Amino acid sequence: AQTVTQSQPEMSVQEAETVTLSCTYDTSENNYYLFWYKQPPSRQMILVIRQEAYKQQNATENRFSVNFQKAAKSFSLKISDSQLGDTAMYFCAFMKPPSGTYKYIFGTGTRLKVLA
Amino acid sequence: DTGVSQDPRHKITKRGQNVTFRCDPISEHNRLYWYRQTLGQGPEFLTYFQNEAQLEKSRLLSDRFSAERPKGSFSTLEIQRTEQGDSAMYLCASSLAKPGDSNQPQHFGDGTRLSIL
What does the pLDDT read at residue A98? Answer: 65
State the virtual CA torsion across B5, B113, B63, A109 in degrees, nearest 10. 90
What does the pLDDT read at residue A49? Answer: 97
Give 3-state DSSP helix, strand, coil % of chain B, rounded to 5: 5, 50, 50
> A56: Cβ–Cβ under 8 A, 6 or more apart, which residues?
none
Cβ-based contacts of A45 with chain B (< 8 Å): 43, 91, 108
Residues of A with CB under 8 A from a CB of B: 4, 6, 33, 35, 37, 43-47, 50, 52, 91, 93, 95, 97-98, 100-109
Mean residue pLDDT across chain B: 92
Instruction: Give average pLDDT by consecutive 10-residue segment, chain A, 116 residues.
Output: 92 98 93 94 91 92 97 97 97 81 91 97
Cβ-based contacts of B91 with chain A (< 8 Å): 45
The one-letter amino acid at A104: Y
Cβ-based contacts of A103 with chain B (< 8 Å): 33, 45, 48, 56
Question: Does position B72 have pLDDT exceeding 90, yes or no?
Answer: no
Question: Does position B19 have pLDDT exceeding 80, yes or no?
Answer: yes
Question: Vertex A22, ends A20 and A27: CA angle to 5°?
Answer: 150
pLDDT in tens, A18-33: 999 999 999 988 889 9
The verdict on a CB contact (< 8 Å) between B106 and A50 is no
Asked if residue A20 lies in contact with residue A78, where contact means CB atoms within 8 angstroms, the answer is yes
Distance from CA of B80 to the nearest CA of A (A): 24
State the virtual CA torsion across B72, B54, A101, B78 in degrees, nearest 10. 100
Question: Does position B83 have pLDDT exceeding 70, yes or no?
Answer: yes
pLDDT in tens, B88-99: 999 999 999 877
The verdict on a CB contact (< 8 Å) between A44 and B110 is yes
